[in-house]
Structure 1
Amino acid sequence: EDWNYHCGSEHGAFGSLAHFTPGVSNRLGPALSYPEYLAKAQLETYESHRAMFEAYSRNKYTSTGVVQWMLNNGWPQFMWHLYDSYLDAGGAFYGAKKAMEPLQLIYSYQDHSIWLVNSRYMPSPALVARAELYGLDGKQLYHSGAIELPWGIEADGTQQVAHIHPWPGAAQRAGGGGSGNDDNATVLLRLLLLDKASGTELARNEYWVPARLDEYTLGGWMEWANMSHYSDMSDLAQLARLDPPLAVHWQTMADADDPTRSLTTIKLSNPSAEVAFFTHIRLLDHDGSDILPAMWEDNFVVLLLSGEARELRVTWRTTDGPVANVEATPYNEVAGEAKAAGATVVVR
């Protein structure tokens, strides 16, 4: 009841989590603890909000528009926001942010095609795109090689640049030899966009893709979809925990662009043999509370393979600090954790 109180009006269609939890449970597996439920909810909202804005961006010259309701809310609430009343941005915010980067590669779930979207009002330089597929064990299943785009892309343009075929598992389903990947396994897709002249990374987009997509009919205005099949990505909860864990190194300095703010640079490294998936990073003060608001260039890092490292920057009001700790928690560490401990409480 406490959770429902922080949804919407008790007399409306969104007065509880009853329309949200079935999707989480059927697609990602039932949550056996509150932290696991929250981690899976962040994963769901990142995926859904990114897809919404990417779909519009790809089809912007044949689409009428898209409405996101809403930006934020004035008190603690489980829905209706990209960032909450504490000014904390969750999966929905960073999924939308990823989709709306000015120059980005996006994946089409329907036909496994890769699209380049330019939202700037100027043409791009010459580019190189790459697509890589990995199993949940971190083994590479596919690599496109360098997809050269010597003329770049026109201002405010969209174009298809690649098509991943055959998709892993397709040959087995057709009775052939296939790629060796489990037909029913979720796969991890990485898209990279580089400046051809310098090799500088311009954009990165990473996905978790089920073997079979959701199947549904739309319920109409202000109603949810009628599901006939949920995608099964419950194997994400079986990702091995990292041993050793992620290494986190960070340093803070004054923000050269704003004397009232500080800049913290964080380097995440994965020394384990496993995949670090959907890592949430938090700035903490001496009391262990989040430093908010914090303006991250990226968060909920989707994919960090064995031996890889990522460097991220975040700015925050100097008066809210100092930073006492930086916490990085992969989905691996939360999903399935309660099950491993023998918990029996299921969040419904």
Structure 2
Amino acid sequence: GVGSDQHVIGSEDVISEISGSSGVKMLGPYAYTAPVYWFTDTQFGGAYGFNTETGPGAQVPQLESLKKMIPEDQLWPMGKSWDYHCGRYEFSDLSRFTKAIEERYGEPGSIVEFDKKAQAMNYELMRPMFEAFQVEKKKATGIVQWMLNAAWPKMYWQLYDYYLNPTAALYATQKACSPLNLIYNYGDNQIYAVNDHLYQVKDLMARIRVYSIESEILLDEQISLNLEADSSQAIYKLKELDGLTTTYFVDLRLYNGEQQEIGNNFYWLSTKEEVLDYDADLGPFAFHTPSKEYADFKQLNSLPRIELEETHSFERDGSNQQLEVILKNNTEHIAFLINLKVQEKESGELILPIFWNDNFLSLLPGEQRKLVATFNYEGEAQLNIEGWNLG
């Protein structure tokens, strides 16, 4: 222990005869992990006990950071320069991450396409890790993400990178840890309402909608509910639906008694279930549970290109600036994974750090959303809006 010369604390689990099991574990995973794992695993890092160190693997930085890390002539296709910015041993390349992208989202044909698919997967893999521990809060006492940020320019384990540029995983974490939240459980196909407050919240209304890949609404349910303090409860089981496409969307909204929206969550799901391979031979260090069958999100590649209506304004107090953005989707199609960036007007360089109330969001047909960002910059800034199917 601390202050002793004993470097190896123990070679096996020891359970106290007095207090019993502590529930503390450090069994990973540390590499690519499908969303369903966190809700269903009962052997390793799933949502039970206190997981003191874990994460779903690589969180690849956004394109602007990749361009700083890797020489232009080695940026695409991926090669050894990418591996140099990975880890050691089992984490020395991105092969598990790239295989999952190819199987689930389709093989990228360019660095730009890889960037958008990598950020989609960063978001999709990080959110359920935290949400599973929210849903199972009575038996899952805590989780520590490995890790918050990067000490040098790298591909693995970061909510924001060496340059302070957030990956989509940061906003997924932000969404998952909302104190009042509606959550999709990948394990039992149910919607859960979670209240992290230490007081009861009454007169809430949950709205659950399912959309096809063509943005056709297939289900629209409203449920009144009260939430006890520090609680998690199943409120709705998704039913089999006619017209459900291989890739589909689930939109969750939570309203207070005045019909004001106080929470939202948006999922892209697949009728093709991801199947975990618990029998895979990973050697003495079972650092993740791989998939032997993958979900299928390739229909996202067929989303029609759309334009958003937007207005924005900057307010300044010295070098402290606040940006307010109003986005409106006037089309009949979902705007998927919108990514807002603020740049230096003269150079086009990203202004970092920056703090958004939300990002990598999706907008339903006809929906309007207000976004707010704060940052510190002396000069003139400009807004850049990107998205999976924008432009």
TM-score bucket (shorter structure): 0.7 to 0.9
In the other structure, the counterpart of 2:388 is 331
Q: Does 1:135 align with 2:212?
A: yes
Structure 2 counterpart of 1:8, from 87, 96, 120: 87
CA deviation vs aligned residue, 1:164-195 (integer Å, no higher than 9, x gap): 22x32xxxxxxxxxx2334xx21111000000
Structure 2 counterpart of 1:162, from 233, 236, 242: 236
SS of 1:262's partner is: strand
For the 8 Å contact 1:265–1:313, the answer to whether it is kept is yes
Structure 1: which 4+ aligned runs deviate by more than 6 Å?
none
Normalising by structure 2, what TM-score? 0.75
Find the structure with the greater CA-based Rg.
2
For the 8 Å contact 1:193–1:201, the answer to whether it is kept is yes
Distance across 2 between alignment mates of 1:180 and 1:72: 42
Distance across 2 between alignment mates of 1:111 and 1:58: 11
Distance across 1 between alignment mates of 2:292 and 2:87: 27
1:192 maps to amino acid: R
In the other structure, the counterpart of 2:121 is 44
In the other structure, the counterpart of 1:58 is 135
For the 8 Å contact 1:19–1:224, the answer to whether it is kept is no
In the other structure, the counterpart of 2:243 is 180
Structure 1 counterpart of 2:315, from 233, 244, 253: 253
Q: CA RMSD in A?
A: 1.7
Q: Does 1:104 align with 2:181?
A: yes
Q: Does 1:265 align with 2:324?
A: yes
In the other structure, the counterpart of 1:21 is 98
1:256-295 matches, cutoff 5 A: 261-286=320-345, 287-295=347-355
Distance across 2 between alignment mates of 1:314 and 1:129: 27
| 5+ residue gaps, structure 1 | 169-178, 335-348
CA deviation vs aligned residue, 1:214-265 (integer Å, no higher than 9, x gap): 10124575523232211111111111111xx22221101146xxx7522110
Aligned identity (percent) is: 33
For the 8 Å contact 1:252–1:262, the answer to whether it is kept is yes
Normalising by structure 1, what TM-score? 0.84
For the 8 Å contact 2:351–2:377, the answer to whether it is kept is no
For the 8 Å contact 2:212–2:243, the answer to whether it is kept is no
- Aligned CA distance change for structure 1 residues 264 and 222 (closer, same or farther; 3 Å): farther
Structure scoring higher RCO (CA < 8 A, sep ≥ 6) equals: 1
2:385 maps to amino acid: A
Distance across 2 between alignment mates of 1:333 and 1:34: 17
1:322 maps to amino acid: E
Structure 2 counterpart of 1:234, from 267, 284, 298: 298
SS of 2:82's partner is: helix
SS of 1:88's partner is: coil
Distance across 1 between alignment mates of 2:136 and 2:312: 40
